[in-house]
Structure 1
Amino acid sequence: MRSSLTNNYKLNLIQWYPGHIAKAEKNLKEQLSRVDVVLEVRDARIPLATHHPQMSEWVGNKTRVLVLNRLDMITPQVRSLWIDWFKSQGEVPYFTNAKQGQGVIAISKAAQAAGVELNQRRRDRGMLPRPVRAVVIGFPNVGKSALINRLLGRRVVESAARPGVTRSLRWVRISEQLELLDAPGVIPAKLENQDAALKLAICDDIGQASYDNQLVASAFVDLLNELQVTASDLLPQQPLQSRYDLDSTTNTGEAYLHALAEHRYKGDVERTARQLLTDFRKGMLGTLPLELPPS
């Protein structure tokens, strides 16, 4: 999304750093010394916007496994573009659909592979092997708890389709080989990049108190119009036209929102904005990436 897109929304900066997240981040830093492997979970629709700027500082010299969750919300074509791009950055992304359990076994294996090395070093020093300790870190609502429940094979961690459900840190034993620390969602104390913040809001990866539905829904339509011009081959054909029988490409996001309100929702713009965002989040508009690899 071009920075010009957010210029219209400057008056409503998106900032969200509730007390429980600040506290959890402090506790997380205290626990990191005990961790061997970091599972960094991002949203496959916005892999760059869901990268925490402090991640490399937290990981240090530990093994990091990069997990892109919500595989079901992007096309195989977009997925392979991201795989190629991350490989060019020297990284291997693992794609999962934690709700359905797709790709979860590979994550478990990747975490345990790191443990083989760890325990070999322990044996060399005459110490007993121990389970690998992994921590799951990511923005709120990217699917961390669902991933842990899948790794465990049963539901031990509350997960819900809203940010900020996990409030405290706790260790969960997955198997003889693996222990997991479930951490609440982390988010930068200050969201410097408002383009990224908008995408977090559109994807529901940030608390609703931080944004105005109508501004975010308008920005979403603008972003979609832009992507239809620059990458139409990677998107469903006219997703908004197909869903609402109203073409968006001739309008600004704001104008489209008002036109759609008249067309479908008795002029109720707020209800229209909420519906538009909900439809996107539930996949009703098709498999829509909001970010593509930088060319």
Structure 2
Amino acid sequence: MAITQHYKLNLIQWYPGHIAKAEKALKEQLKLVDVVLEVRDARIPLATHHPMVNDWVGNKTKVLVMNRVDMISPAVKQIWTDWFKQQGERALFTNAQQGKGVTAISKAAQAAGTQINQKRRQRGMLPRPVRAVVIGFPNVGKSALINRLVKRRVVESAARPGVTRQLRWVRISKELELLDAPGVIPIKLEDQEAALKLAICDDIGEASYDNQLVAAGFIDIVNYLMATVITETTEDEIVANILPAQLLMSRYEIDPSGFTGDEFLHALAKNRYQGDAERAARKILTDFRRGSLGQIPLELPLDLGLS
């Protein structure tokens, strides 16, 4: 279960036309696929789970990929590994930009498809490459993962949502073919807390949200996580392993614990940017997205399993 918190935000909605077309095409192509690689953002593994994925997967094998593992601590990685195991799922962690963990993804996809060729041989048919599809929200690293699997740049990859707009097949090896699909997102973002996290992580289009509201929401989440982690754990060392110590104080010289997100944003604007709250908001979001604030998860299971 995710940590919950209520935010007074304008409605965040984003559903570009190309996504509707891509989703329709994806459903057609899924009939040809043996394995589904679902890529999520390791900082927000619940918010980047599309509610329709399980319906799309059906009886096919699913490989769960948590990308951007470099942006969470080893302790947080272990917490999520254990949590997903309890849910009956095995999470594989990658840093697609650097190629970390990618070999394990290729092996998992091929292993999942082995049964396909065993059945083909039993029917007197020749084996064929395993067909896998890479799906997930925009900007979670799907194209970067494919480029690493192929070991060359075959699909466009950029640190912004909505770059991939069409489906295309990419041959990885004699054993594996991958379908690169554009990011898919629910037609309506019912969960506005999840939408906020998508905006913070730059996983939806910038035109869909207000930077100041999102930056203030980020501060509220950090304060909430800090309070939750400290409540659930007793040792400072464990807390530090989950969240960086004084993660905002050391960067901005303002202690966020005494402020709401909105108050912190305006205090930072007053101290550094001549009262320009928009500039302060962009600074906070850019610092987080670049990892300048340290390894910060925006979601943790309620039961951290550490107390």
> Which TM class, normalised by the smaller chain length?
over 0.9
One-letter amino acid matched to 1:199: K
One-letter amino acid matched to 2:6: L
Match of 1:198 in 2: 196
One-letter amino acid matched to 1:292: L
One-letter amino acid matched to 1:182: D
Q: Which of the residues 114, 119, 122 maps onto 1:121?
A: 119
CA distance, structure 2, for counterparts of residue 77 and residue 4 of structure 1: 23
Q: Does 1:37 align with 2:35?
A: yes
Q: Does 1:213 align with 2:211?
A: yes
How high is the sequence identity, in percent, across the aligned residues? 72
CA distance, structure 2, for counterparts of residue 186 and residue 267 of structure 1: 38
Match of 2:264 in 1: 256
Match of 2:246 in 1: 238
Match of 2:279 in 1: 271
Match of 1:180 in 2: 178
- 2:279 match: secondary structure: helix
Which runs of 4 or more aligned residues in structure 1 lie more than 6 Å from their structure 2 counterparts after TM superposition? none
Contact 1:141 1:204 in 2 (8 A): yes
Following superposition, the deviation at residue 4 of structure 1 comes to 5.0
Match of 2:17 in 1: 19
CA distance, structure 1, for counterparts of residue 15 and residue 192 of structure 2: 15
CA distance, structure 2, for counterparts of residue 115 and residue 63 of structure 1: 8
Match of 1:100 in 2: 98
**C-alpha root-mean-square deviation of aligned residues, in Å?**
1.0
Q: Which of the residues 289, 296, 299 maps onto 1:291?
A: 299
Match of 2:236 in 1: none
Aligned length: 292
Match of 2:222 in 1: 224
Following superposition, the deviation at residue 30 of structure 1 comes to 0.8
The one-character-per-residue Cα deviations of 1:100-155 (angstroms, maximum 9, x if unpaired) are: 00000000000000121110000001111000000000000000000000000001
The one-character-per-residue Cα deviations of 1:189-212 (angstroms, maximum 9, x if unpaired) are: 011111111000000111111100
CA distance, structure 2, for counterparts of residue 4 and residue 166 of structure 1: 32
Unpaired stretches in structure 1, ≥5 consecutive residues: none
Q: Which of the residues 71, 74, 77 maps onto 1:73?
A: 71
The one-character-per-residue Cα deviations of 1:210-269 (angstroms, maximum 9, x if unpaired) are: 100000000000110111111141200111111111111101100110110111112111
CA distance, structure 2, for counterparts of residue 25 and residue 92 of structure 1: 26
CA distance, structure 2, for counterparts of residue 117 and residue 235 of structure 1: 42
Cα pair distance change 1:62/1:219, threshold 3 Å: same
The one-character-per-residue Cα deviations of 1:80-106 (angstroms, maximum 9, x if unpaired) are: 111110000000000000000000000
Match of 1:151 in 2: 149
CA distance, structure 2, for counterparts of residue 129 and residue 265 of structure 1: 63
One-letter amino acid matched to 2:124: G
One-letter amino acid matched to 1:267: G
- 1:231 match: secondary structure: helix
CA distance, structure 1, for counterparts of residue 68 and residue 299 of structure 2: 14
CA distance, structure 2, for counterparts of residue 58 and residue 219 of structure 1: 32
Contact 2:171 2:178 in 1 (8 A): yes
Q: Which of the residues 158, 161, 172 maps onto 1:160?
A: 158
Following superposition, the deviation at residue 2 of structure 1 comes to 6.3
Contact 1:112 1:132 in 2 (8 A): yes
Contact 2:3 2:300 in 1 (8 A): no
CA distance, structure 1, for counterparts of residue 246 and residue 55 of structure 2: 41
The one-character-per-residue Cα deviations of 1:44-101 (angstroms, maximum 9, x if unpaired) are: 0000000000000000100100000000000000111111100000000000000000
CA distance, structure 1, for counterparts of residue 302 and residue 18 of structure 2: 34
Contact 2:5 2:193 in 1 (8 A): no
TM-score (norm 2): 0.93
One-letter amino acid matched to 1:110: A
Match of 2:6 in 1: 5
CA distance, structure 2, for counterparts of residue 240 and residue 294 of structure 1: 23
